[in-house]
Amino acid sequence: MDTRELTVRTGSARGVADLTAACAAFLSDIDADDGLLSLFVPHATAGLVVVEIGAGSDDDLMDALDRLLPREDRLYRHRHGSVGHGADHVVPLLAAPSLTVPVLGGRLALGTWQSICLLDPNADNAERTVRLSFIGG
């Protein structure tokens, strides 16, 4: 199994970070063929998604997340950190901390408009870690 750890600098912005190019580069660097790419984010307030980005989709995703998980502290028992931090801890209910993507001929088997993204609603953390693991078939 080949592995790599990515550092994703999210700064103080909430949103999505596209990991697709970094995943493709990892597969190229290890000369991957067919198999599975596993991603894992070891953070309690972030998740991984396969989603279309650009053309407003990123903002739509964050708006939908805020409608599903309102950022009002009075709604959550977990209230330390910035406003909405309690909601951030519920994100794994909707965006899991792990994701598996098929790899065919060394390429991610994604659909035309799909991207692999880190979903990070928590502006308190300026940097995230994502672990990539490739298991060849």
pLDDT single digits (tens) 37-60: 999 999 999 999 999 999 899 999
Interval 81-126: pLDDT, tens: 777 788 889 999 999 999 999 999 999 999 999 999 999 999 888 9
Which amino acid belongs to residue 116? I
pTM for this structure? 0.93
pLDDT score at 81:
73
Band of pLDDT at residue 4, cut at 50, 70 and 90: very high
Judge whether 4 and 132 are in contact, CB under 8 Å: yes
Instruction: Examine the pLDDT at 13 and tell me if it is beyond 90.
Output: no
DSSP 3-62: EEEEEEE-TT--EEEE-HHHHHHHHHHTT--SEEEEEE---TT-EEEEE--STTHHHHHH
Pick 2-136's CATH classification: 3.60.21.10, 3.10.20.30, 3.40.50.720, 2.60.120.460: 2.60.120.460
What does R_g of the chain's alpha carbons equal in angstroms?
Answer: 16
